[in-house]
């Protein structure tokens, strides 16, 4: 079965990419939905109905299936190479995968609320939420590529620096946007 390793790994990576595409885009649609809910009628209803449809299709046709298929192919890879489970980098990666699933499930709860027009987040909060999956992606990619050669202290500091830069970028964007009349 090891001869199928590259095919299984390729499928795993393809579905990781489509899963992240969904996780990157769904909060963006949430931002648009939140901002549409603040508009006057009939624009409010037209836009929120469209965003509900778009998020529903994205979530159930792309994001959830991709998460499930990513997991299936990941488990298959671990079945083929069980020694990975004894390596520190894989254990840390699996910790980040748990965080990613927590992010996914919380996004699912937000999705369910927004489908019912329950809006508990501001658009700025949702923009910040949107960066959660980005941080996990950076951590996992560097961890998998660099593996044992990574200096954990620098790696953790790098993630914090990235998070700070993302937050500053969001604040700058909000400041620029507030100065434009039709932003």
What Cα–Cα distance (Å) separates residue 161 from each residue in 23, 87, 108, 145?
A: 22, 26, 28, 20
Mean pLDDT per block of 10 residues along the chain (183 residues) reads: 89 97 97 95 95 97 98 96 90 91 97 96 91 86 72 69 81 79 60
Q: Which domain holds residue 138?
A: 2-179
Q: Residues annotated as binding site for heme?
A: 12, 93
DSSP 39: S
DSSP 119: -
Cβ proximity of 26 and 121 under 8 Å: no
Please identify which residue in the block is written with the tokens 């369910």. Answer: 112
Q: Which H or E run includes 178?
A: helix 152-179
Candidates 105, 77, 116, 109; CA nearest to 93 is 77
pLDDT for 131 equals: 86
Candidates 60, 58, 59, 81; CA nearest to 12 is 81
Q: Residues annotated as binding site?
A: 12, 93
Candidates 90, 89, 60, 61; CA nearest to 75 is 90
Distance separating alpha carbons of residues 168 and 20, to the nearest angstrom: 23
| Total number of domains constituting the chain | 1
Distance separating alpha carbons of residues 119 and 20, to the nearest angstrom: 23
Candidates 6, 143, 137; CA nearest to 81 is 6
Sequence-distant (≥ 6) Cβ neighbours of residue 153 within 8 angstroms? none
Please identify which residue in the block is written with the tokens 């949702």. Answer: 126
pLDDT for 85 equals: 92
Distance separating alpha carbons of residues 77 and 74, to the nearest angstrom: 5
């Amino acid at each position: 079965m090891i001869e199928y390793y590259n095919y299984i790994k390729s499928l795993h990576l393809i579905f990781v990419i489509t899963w992240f595409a969904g996780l990157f885009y769904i909060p963006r649609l949430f931002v648009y939905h939140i901002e549409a809910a603040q508009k006057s009628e009939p624009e409010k209803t037209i836009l929120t109905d469209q965003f509900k449809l778009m998020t529903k299709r994205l979530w159930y046709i792309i994001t959830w299936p991709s998460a499930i298929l990513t997991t299936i192919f990941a488990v298959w890879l671990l079945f083929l190479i069980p020694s990975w489970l004894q390596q520190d980098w894989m254990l840390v990666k699996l910790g980040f995968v748990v965080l990613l699933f927590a992010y996914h499930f919380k996004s699912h709860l937000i999705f369910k609320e927004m489908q019912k027009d329950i809006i508990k987040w501001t658009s700025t909060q949702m923009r910040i939420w949107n960066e959660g999956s980005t941080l996990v992606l950076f951590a996992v990619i560097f961890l998998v590529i660099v593996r044992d050669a990574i200096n954990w202290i620098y790696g953790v500091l790098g993630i914090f620096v990235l998070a700070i830069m993302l937050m500053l970028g969001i604040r700058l964007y909000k400041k620029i946007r507030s100065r434009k009349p039709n932003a």
